[in-house]
A = this chain, B = another copy of it.
Amino acid sequence: MGSVLNVIKIGGNVIDDETQLQDFLEKFAALQGKKILVHGGGKVATRVANGLGIEAKMIDGRRVTDAAMLDIVTMVYAGLTNKKVVSLLQRFGCDALGLSGADGNTIKAVKRPVREIDYGYVGDILVDSVNSLSVKKFLEAGYTPVFSAITHNGIGQLLNTNADTIASALAVSLSKIYDTSLIYCFEKNGVLRDVTDEHSVIPTIKANEFDELKAAGVIYEGMIPKLENAFHAIGKGVKNVYIGHALNLHMYQQGGFGTCLLAK
């Protein structure tokens, strides 16, 4: 196995708060070794869409990315947010390189097939979506890739893609080259035994313990798909997955960061 790689996902809440974003990025920049950042969208896209009189289209309660909305998320995620993050990382001494999946052909998705609902320009990730050799070239050249959640289909169409899925797909694909960990940063201290108590973080969960915790009702509903995706990534070669608070990221390499999910 080669060297260590950390793939870190940061969500929209931190992106939307300038002070928290700077705090998080300073901690991210200080992490040792090879690393990748994947960022979500935040509320700016909705604000820009509203300002331009473009309504968020929903079908059966699910968001649809039509052509106008694709332009907006491309502008905001791959443009404004990505370049803000990159320039702040440069300030903190991290040689960041902002990417969409089209850049260096790093992530190729397929437009979601139309069945009951036409989701529009939404990209689904397949097992061979990540071009790990392209991403490796950037890592080996000393850059820190910073991915927005915009991908392409390889024949000229950009696609809006889920940032959690991108982070997971990157980690799985790169685990063939690096000793890879995946870190989901969010606004809680980790997986909590008591959802109202931030001090009740479960330090580690092994795959066989996950079913028990689910059955016992300890893991609340919103966390279940997150953890299922995490254990899926572990099953595909990722060494471990951490879930913890974005602003505790400085604790990651010294121990005590969030919940660590392990194969066994």
Residues of A within 8 A of B (CB): 48, 51-53, 71, 74-80, 82-84, 86-88, 90-91, 95-100, 102-105, 134, 137, 141-143, 150, 152, 154-158
What would 6 A/B residue contacts be, using CB atoms closer than 8 Å? A52-B52, A74-B80, A74-B83, A75-B75, A78-B82, A96-B102
Q: How far is the CB of A132 from chain B (nearest CB, A)?
A: 14
Instruction: Determine whether the beta carbon of A156 is less than 8 Å from that of B102.
Output: no
Instruction: Determine whether the beta carbon of A79 is less than 8 Å from that of B74.
Output: yes
With A71-B80, A74-B79, A137-B141 known as contacts, the answer to whether A96 contacts B86 (CB < 8 A) is no
CA distance A209 to B85 in the complex (A): 48
Instruction: Determine whether the beta carbon of B83 is less than 8 Å from that of A80.
Output: no
Q: How far is the CB of A149 from chain B (nearest CB, A)?
A: 12
CA distance A79 to B148 in the complex (A): 10
CA distance A71 to B87 in the complex (A): 13
Instruction: Determine whether the beta carbon of B86 is less than 8 Å from that of A103.
Output: yes
CA distance A99 to B74 in the complex (A): 14
CA distance A95 to B138 in the complex (A): 14
CA distance A90 to B52 in the complex (A): 30
Instruction: Determine whether the beta carbon of B91 is less than 8 Å from that of A156.
Output: yes
Instruction: Determine whether the beta carbon of B158 is less than 8 Å from that of A84.
Output: yes
Instruction: Determine whether the beta carbon of B75 is less than 8 Å from that of A90.
Output: no
A143: chain B residues at CB < 8 Å are 104
CA distance A134 to B143 in the complex (A): 10
CA distance A104 to B86 in the complex (A): 9
Q: How far is the CB of A148 from chain B (nearest CB, A)?
A: 9
A91: chain B residues at CB < 8 Å are 154-156
CA distance A91 to B76 in the complex (A): 23
Apart from the given pairs A90-B102, A95-B134, A98-B102, 10 other A-B contacts in the complex at a CB distance below 8 Å: A51-B51, A51-B52, A71-B80, A74-B79, A76-B79, A78-B83, A86-B152, A87-B157, A90-B152, A90-B156
